[in-house]
Amino acid sequence: MAPRRAGTENFIANSPGAPYNTSMSEPTIAQKSPFVLPMKVGSYYFCTCGLSKGQPFCDGSHKGSAFAPKKVDITEDKTVAWCGCKHSKNGGFCDGSHANLP
């Protein structure tokens, strides 16, 4: 799946019939390792809730929760280790926090 770039044309809402997460206070762990992807220059919306079907990018699954996507600007083409556990203290980038999760 292609990364979600900034802009309304690439930000899709929750699919019909998908449940909203009104009581979620902690992010769902998408995976306990980073998503390592080659990235092009641009703006992307990183999923902070862990529920997106297009990890590590937002697909709107957070709607109805306290979570919101994090806009990340990539200023040069490079390989990025996106946080998969959603507990990084380094924004959308992996900081190794997954190693300390149960």
Q: pLDDT, tens digit, for every residue of 42-64?
A: 999 999 999 999 999 999 999 99
The Cα 56–Cα 4 span in angstroms is 9
70-96 mean pLDDT: 97
The number of folded domains in the chain is: 1
In a domain, residue 102? The reply is no
57 near 48, Cβ under 8 Å?
Answer: no
Domain that residue 65 falls in: 1-8+28-97
In a domain, residue 86? The reply is yes
In a domain, residue 18? The reply is no
> pTM score, two decimals?
0.78
Which residues fall within 8 angstroms of residue 99, CB to CB, at 6 or more apart? none
